[in-house]
């Protein structure tokens, strides 16, 4: 990107504080039955380059403005331009312009490298909070918000983990794709980008997206908030994958959407929910077999991730943080399968960084307990957990109420009737190789955090795709299954419990809700369903209770 050195995450220093480590080792030996031993610690940082060119170079800006002028006039002439003339339209507010895919398993996925520079003088930087988190050049002040992805951004970009989505509803007025997306230098190259014009006349620019990923919608098409626009990448004037998000008024003047003492553009935030400054947090906790390979630009990092270790093995933990505030402390704790605290490591932040990782390497004892271990990281009031196994434990059979942060990872299967109450502090993780079976009685209530995943416990396995296996404790049928205007749904349940029934079309869009969390007794229940309003097509009727599901098909022929 504009702003980054391409050799991200370069390990700059290896701390080998031998005497300190020895003391800690002795401490561990005495107090944690020597199950694990911390043998070294280090840290890495995102090396930031002084930008040599603007994020959107003048030649690209000029071309973009010409495209906008041409497209806006054409749409206006056709009577198709988003139009609020004569209407009192409040200032457009924005949602967050990024989201991660469901198979991103970290805690958070972004950090902000640069805001808008409000100081016109060259060499003077003033972000909206009067800080210096921006950049300028002799004839350029950075005009957008640069949101980077991490950790290991080239890998994340290659894996397409982070989508660019519309921050506000509006009309596409430029759509550019087909430009290389692995740039490591700044300069006058074109980015893959989208410009959206909003009802209040403002426009949002989304820059640097992945080649071939830009929405298939065309100039003139409307998008809604949250709608897919593309994937984060490094096209255009960019040295690493990031989104440059920029807002302008109808005359082309930049509006900084972040409200703060040094932003003269606005009096109230243009974000629906403005994120804090700094926005300290935990991005990812990783367990690994060794060091990640450095990324030469352009190069996808090789990260030897593993969540499974043998007794006697060594492993490395990386704690990736964002917005590190000098003097603050991050704490990493490791808990045994029986929830005994085995080690506490702390790191004190010395210099501000937008993103950094701390790392600790451990040896596991030859007799380390077999089971699922938990790593808990605390930083600036935020907590996150990560789980790993030693000796790949066998199947789990779980029951009863479970609270707090708890993980279960097995090489075979998990059978469960656990209940997880509706609290965001209840954060439960299931992972099994073969299947996860939720029997009658299992209940994860909205408000808790629950994830289930099928993976391979064998060491060095690649991460499997997310799926869940469920056992049906009820059966849903439609009779007739081919109809013009009417069918009957019959639901057979083997035990009492709450059930929802929903009708979807084949695109996954909800067509009708038949039942919402209704408590049904054991037996057969019938529901009349009118399909008079349904267009011809195939529909899926779905009964759901917790993660158990039964599906039937209805064909409507008119």
Binding to Zn ion by CB under 5 A, coded x per residue (else -) over 122-151, reads: ----------------------x-x-----
What's the closest the beta carbon of residue 142 comes to Zn ion, in angstroms?
6
Cα separation, 53 vs 418, in Å, equals: 56
Assess 323 for contact with Zn ion (CB under 5 A).
Answer: no
What's the closest the beta carbon of residue 1 comes to Zn ion, in angstroms?
7
Considering only residues 486 to 505 of the shown chain, the ones binding Zn ion according to CB under 5 A are none
Residue closer to Zn ion (CB basis): 41 or 143: 143
Residue with tokens 């590190």: 324
What's the closest the beta carbon of residue 120 comes to Zn ion, in angstroms?
17
Residue closer to Zn ion (CB basis): 142 or 320: 142
Q: How far is CA 453 from CA 251, 368, 540, in A?
A: 50, 25, 24
Q: How many residues bind Zn ion (CB under 5 A)?
A: 4
What's the closest the beta carbon of residue 241 comes to Zn ion, in angstroms?
12
Q: How far is CA 458 from CA 266, 432, 464, 465, in A?
A: 55, 11, 12, 15
Residue closer to Zn ion (CB basis): 148 or 282: 148
3-state secondary structure of 83: coil
User: How open is the CA angle 254-156-168, to the nearest 5 degrees?
Assistant: 35
- Single out the segment in contact with Zn ion by CB under 5 A; choices: 52-60, 182-190, 230-238, 342-350: 52-60
CB 255 within 8 A of CB 248: yes
Residue closer to Zn ion (CB basis): 60 or 491: 60
The first and second tokens of residue 277, run together, are: 């400054």
Residue closer to Zn ion (CB basis): 208 or 386: 208
Task: Using CA atoms of 144, 149, 154, 159 in order, give the dihedral in degrees to the nearest 10.
Answer: -120
Residue closer to Zn ion (CB basis): 175 or 238: 238
Residue closer to Zn ion (CB basis): 115 or 430: 115
What's the closest the beta carbon of residue 356 comes to Zn ion, in angstroms?
21
CB 229 within 8 A of CB 94: no
Report whether the peptide linkage leading into residue 238 is cis, meaning its omega lies within 30 degrees of zero: no
Q: Which residues are CB-contacts of 32 (< 8 A; sequence separation ≥ 6)? A: 336, 340, 341, 342, 343
What's the closest the beta carbon of residue 148 comes to Zn ion, in angstroms?
10
What's the closest the beta carbon of residue 144 comes to Zn ion, in angstroms?
5
- Single out the segment in contact with Zn ion by CB under 5 A; choices: 55-63, 103-111, 458-466, 542-550: 55-63
Residue closer to Zn ion (CB basis): 43 or 94: 94
What's the closest the beta carbon of residue 265 comes to Zn ion, in angstroms?
17
- Single out the segment in contact with Zn ion by CB under 5 A; choices: 47-55, 258-266, 279-287, 436-444: 47-55
Q: Taking CB positions, which residue lies at the least distance from Zn ion?
A: 55
Q: Of the candidates 55, 81, 243, 499, which one interacts with Zn ion according to CB under 5 A?
A: 55
Residue closer to Zn ion (CB basis): 140 or 315: 140
CB 369 within 8 A of CB 389: no
Binding to Zn ion by CB under 5 A, coded x per residue (else -) over 90-129, reads: ----------------------------------------
Cα separation, 252 vs 257, in Å, equals: 15
Residue closer to Zn ion (CB basis): 192 or 545: 192
What's the closest the beta carbon of residue 244 comes to Zn ion, in angstroms?
4
Considering only residues 239 to 278 of the shown chain, the ones binding Zn ion according to CB under 5 A are 244
Please report how many Cα atoms fall inside a 13 Å half-sphere around the Cα of residue 240, on the Cβ side.
Answer: 31
CA nearest neighbour of 284 among 100, 24, 40, 95:
100
Contacts 24+ apart (CB under 8 A), 66-71: 67/173, 67/174, 67/176, 67/195, 68/173, 68/174, 68/195, 68/203, 71/173, 71/174, 71/219, 71/220
Residue closer to Zn ion (CB basis): 55 or 547: 55
What's the closest the beta carbon of residue 250 comes to Zn ion, in angstroms?
22
Query: Each residue of 494-505: b (16+ CB within 10 Å) or e?
Result: eeebebebbbee
Binding to Zn ion by CB under 5 A, coded x per residue (else -) over 216-245, reads: ----------------------------x-
Cα separation, 186 vs 77, in Å, equals: 37
Q: How far is CA 19 from CA 27, 214, 315, in A?
A: 13, 54, 21
Residue 549 burial by CB count (10 A; 0-12/13-18/19+): exposed, middle or buried?
middle
What's the closest the beta carbon of residue 206 comes to Zn ion, in angstroms?
11
Residue closer to Zn ion (CB basis): 1 or 364: 1
What's the closest the beta carbon of residue 191 comes to Zn ion, in angstroms?
10
Cα separation, 199 vs 222, in Å, equals: 11
Residues forming contacts to Zn ion in the complex (CB under 5 A) are 55, 144, 146, 244
């Amino acid at each position: 990107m504009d702003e980054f050195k391409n050799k991200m995450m370069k390990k700059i220093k290896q701390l080998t504080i031998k005497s300190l480590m020895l003391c800690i080792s002795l401490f561990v030996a005495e107090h944690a039955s020597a199950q694990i031993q911390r043998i070294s610690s280090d840290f890495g940082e995102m090396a930031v380059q002084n930008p040599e060119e603007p994020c959107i170079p003048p030649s690209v800006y000029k071309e973009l403005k010409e495209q906008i002028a041409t497209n806006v006039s054409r749409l206006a002439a056709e009577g198709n331009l988003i139009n609020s003339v004569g209407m009192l339209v409040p200032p457009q507010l924005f949602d967050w312009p990024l989201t991660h895919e469901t198979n991103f398993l970290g805690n958070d996925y972004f950090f902000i490298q640069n805001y808008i520079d409000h100081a016109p003088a060259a060499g003077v930087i003033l972000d909206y909070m009067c800080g210096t988190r921006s950049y300028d050049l002799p004839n350029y002040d950075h005009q957008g918000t640069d949101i980077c992805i991490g950790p290991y951004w080239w890998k994340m970009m290659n894996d397409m983990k982070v989508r660019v989505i519309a921050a506000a509803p509006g009309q596409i007025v430029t759509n550019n794709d087909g430009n290389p997306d692995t740039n490591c230098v700044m300069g006058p190259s074109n980015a893959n980008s989208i410009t959206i014009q909003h009802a209040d006349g403002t426009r949002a620019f989304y820059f640097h997206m992945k080649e071939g990923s830009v929405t298939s919608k065309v100039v003139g098409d409307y998008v809604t908030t949250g709608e897919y626009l593309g994937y984060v990448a490094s096209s255009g004037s960019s040295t690493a994958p990031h989104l440059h998000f920029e807002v302008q008024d109808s005359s082309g003047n930049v509006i900084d959407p972040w409200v703060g003492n040094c932003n003269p553009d606005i009096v109230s935030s243009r974000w629906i929910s403005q994120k804090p400054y700094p926005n300290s947090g935990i991005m990812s906790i990783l367990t690994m077999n060794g060091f990640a390979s450095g990324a030469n630009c352009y190069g996808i990092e090789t990260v030897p991730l593993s969540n499974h270790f043998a007794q006697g093995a060594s492993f490395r933990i990386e704690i990736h943080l964002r917005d590190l505030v000098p003097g603050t402390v991050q704490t990493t704790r490791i808990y045994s399968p029986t929830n005994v605290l085995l080690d506490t490591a702390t790191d004190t932040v010395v210099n501000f960084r937008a993103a950094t990782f701390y790392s600790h390497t451990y040896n596991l004892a030859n007799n380390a307990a077999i089971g699922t271990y938990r790593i808990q990281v605390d930083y600036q009031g935020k907590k996150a957990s990560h789980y790993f196994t030693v000796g790949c434990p066998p199947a789990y059979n779980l029951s009863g109420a479970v609270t707090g942060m708890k993980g279960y990872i097995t090489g075979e299967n998990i059978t469960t009737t656990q209940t997880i109450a509706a609290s965001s502090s209840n954060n439960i993780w299931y992972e099994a190789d073969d299947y996860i079976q939720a029997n009658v009685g299992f209940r994860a209530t909205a408000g808790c955090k629950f994830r289930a995943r099928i993976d391979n416990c064998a060491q060095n396995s690649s991460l499997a795709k997310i799926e869940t296996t469920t056992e049906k404790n009820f059966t849903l049928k439609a009779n007739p299954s081919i109809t013009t205007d009417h069918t009957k749904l019959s639901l057979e349940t083997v035990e009492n419990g709450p059930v929802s029934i929903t009708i979807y079309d084949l695109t996954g869009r909800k067509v009708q809700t038949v039942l919402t969390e209704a408590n049904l007794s054991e037996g057969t229940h019938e529901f009349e369903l009118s399909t008079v309003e349904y267009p011809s097509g195939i529909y899926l009727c779905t009964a759901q209770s917790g993660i158990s599901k039964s599906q039937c098909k209805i064909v409507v022929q008119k």
